[in-house]
């Protein structure tokens, strides 16, 4: 069984690439160095004049996630420099067990 961890933030549409750049250049390499990290997706949508980014990360277990987060599994891990550039962000995350997965071969 794997675990999905989901978090969202809202960015100013005048600088829409700031968060994706941070995600690609800093977040992904840090996560990829953690044994038990399985992968990530960054999703984007426009919402009420802002750009909302949702991050879905996949992990082997909650114990592995704890290596990333520390004590509070539900607290968002957000670089203070990035947080200052965002309009808003979720202070907590959600975790769900991944029951089934399917990747189309088309």
Q: Which residue(s) pair with 40 in the sheet? A: 57
Determine the pLDDT at residue 50: 92
pTM for this predicted structure: 0.91
Dmax of the chain from CA atoms? 42
Determine the pLDDT at residue 52: 97
More confident residue, 24 or 81: 24
Average pLDDT score over the chain: 94
Determine the pLDDT at residue 101: 84
Q: Which residue(s) pair with 92 in the sheet? A: 75
Determine the pLDDT at residue 71: 87
Determine the pLDDT at residue 15: 87
CA distance 69 to 14: 31
Average pLDDT over every residue of 30-41:
96
Q: What is the pLDDT of residues 44-92, one digit of tens each?
A: 999 988 999 999 999 999 999 999 998 899 999 999 988 988 999 999 9
């Amino acid at each position: 069984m794997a675990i999905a961890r989901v978090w969202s933030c809202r960015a100013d549409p005048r600088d829409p690439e700031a968060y994706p750049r941070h995600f690609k250049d800093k977040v992904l390499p840090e996560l990829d160095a953690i044994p038990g990290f399985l992968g990530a997706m960054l999703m984007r949508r426009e919402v009420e004049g802002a750009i909302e980014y949702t991050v879905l990360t996949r992990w082997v277990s909650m114990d592995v996630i704890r290596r990333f987060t520390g004590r509070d599994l539900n607290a968002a891990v957000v670089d203070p420099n990035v947080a200052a550039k965002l309009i808003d962000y979720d202070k907590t995350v959600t975790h769900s067990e991944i029951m089934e997965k399917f990747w189309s071969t088309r």
